[in-house]
Structure 1
Amino acid sequence: MFSFSRSPYMTALFSFGVFLLFIFLQNTVIYTSLQTVFSTGGLCACKKCVMDLNDDDWFFMRFNPTVPALLNRRNSAMRSDVFTWWKGLQSDPKKANFSDVVDVLFSLFPDEEHHVVTDPNRCRTCAVVGNSGNILGSHYGQLIDSHNFVIRINKGPTKGYETDVGSKTTHRIMYPESAVDLDNSTHLVLLPFKIKDMLWLISVFTTKHVTSTYTRVRPSINAVREKVMIIHPAFIKYVYESWLRKHGSYPSTGFITLIFALHICDQVSVFGFGAKRDGNWHHYFDNSLAHFSRGLHRGDYESRTIHELLLMDKIALHKGV
């Protein structure tokens, strides 16, 4: 007669079932707790908060408020899988020790938890301004500047384009190859794809000896040391795995910026993303065409994810012209 106790297959099946039940119950507890903590009206004073997790499982399964968005000394110890993935993003022959680099970073730049304090009386509005040509002729400038935070990406200029893109910049996300000068009111937010990006940042404010990565980069830029922030490598991996489901090789700067805004803002408005109405993709400050759905970033999947956020009322998307 067949005996359950003598069957290794049934024992393994039973063990696997117990494991799945544990995971399900664990996620249920976490979900219930998050719903209680981040319920509408409990986290911020906006009519609707980004962090309201009562809406839909689609958002809950992607959004993880425990992932550090910005690097500091206390959260710099990365799991081996995170560190290996991050180092594999781009070839980096520089054999710098990461912990040594962190020590230098936070002897120079603010070593703090940026933008993590929540207040039920706060309604922090943020404009994420992309570089799409669809923003030309939009006259969004005044609307963009009305937000508490205005987050710009890479080299997107404001001078000469104020009517459409505004003039205010509180944060600019960049990496060495896209670096530009900043005014004294703007936070430099480094998006590090490799250790050498962090070494470049150190060099900018000290010796100015780093002049190339995989291409020539600016050895110096105008920026305020006290306003420097650094995106956490674990956050890049989180965006890639949780939000893009590993489509492409790694997320685009624009998409990382959008998810970053979801983590530090109460309401997020998005400008300058997507193609023009004629279907062409190019920057508002040049006319070189881009093939958005191809290449490393799988922009088509990023676009679908942004559309889902719009449908769920997590963002306001201003499509331009």
Structure 2
Amino acid sequence: MSSSWNESDDYEQSGDKEGRAWKLVENLAQGALKEQRRARRWGIFFKLLTFIWLFVSVGVFYNAMHVDLSGAPASASHTALVELDGVIGTDDVNADSVVTGLRAAFEDKGTKGVILRINSPGGSPVQSGYIYDEIRRLRGLYPQTPLYAVVMDIGASGGYYVAAAADKIYADKASLVGSIGVISSGFGFVGAMKKLGVTRRNYTAGEFKAFNDPFQPEDLEATQRWQQSLDTIHNQFINVVKQGRGDRLSDNKDIFSGMVWTGEQAVKLGLLDGLGSAGYVAREVIGEEEIVDFSLRLTPFERFARDFGAGVASTAVKVLGLNSLSLQ
């Protein structure tokens, strides 16, 4: 009996084992890759599902909270109400939204009178003037429809500017009324910068372009010119109040000093015609107790979209460095 060693057979067997091992590794790798792809697809699916759910939820919430002015009665007699609540010129209280509400109120055939309910410390003189002019225009178009301003907590500065266009103005005895003046304020950090050893680098085109820069010494000539502009706007404010209130104003020189008065004091000064709420005016002055709100308000969805868009735009400006140069 003899035995022999076959080197080629052993090599072939070894090669077969190695091939099967690599095949197994390959299968495992492909299986893991398929599992990753499957997990990725499911992840995308669930993210998409979550997005759809959020979108539908917001839509439902939007429909539930939406106030449609078209639902206001077109024939039944009523008192129309438009709100002006907040700082004039902001996203929440801008001239366009107030004017849109006023136009809808006057155009409605069932409107017996309009109440502009004001709760504002003032704001933009430009937008206040826009609302004032529109009230005067609408009163000319609808002479049989009176408009009354009712001040809540405060109707000052731009808030009173707008109220002056009304046929009559009412408020509570504790309401704050007046502030017929103009303000422009800021800070000066020149002394602090010297102590800290900080140097200001500001490049402009135009002699007075940076006259209000808080990090530079005050320019007396520029300040005088700016004061002239403030005085001009103040005189415009005074003329508007005189035009709106006429002979009802008293001769008290402090009326246009920028002072704020209580409702009780304001009646004596001729800044108000009487004391009363919106309900009182609707019931006792207009003679129609039923009040329909024509205020144009952003729905929660619209507010979210606006704030989100503003946030994205602000971030983009900062990231791209677009805020380094401006024409203001």
State the TM-score, normalized to the length of structure 2: 0.25
More strand by share: 2
Structure possessing the higher radius of gyration over alpha carbons:
2
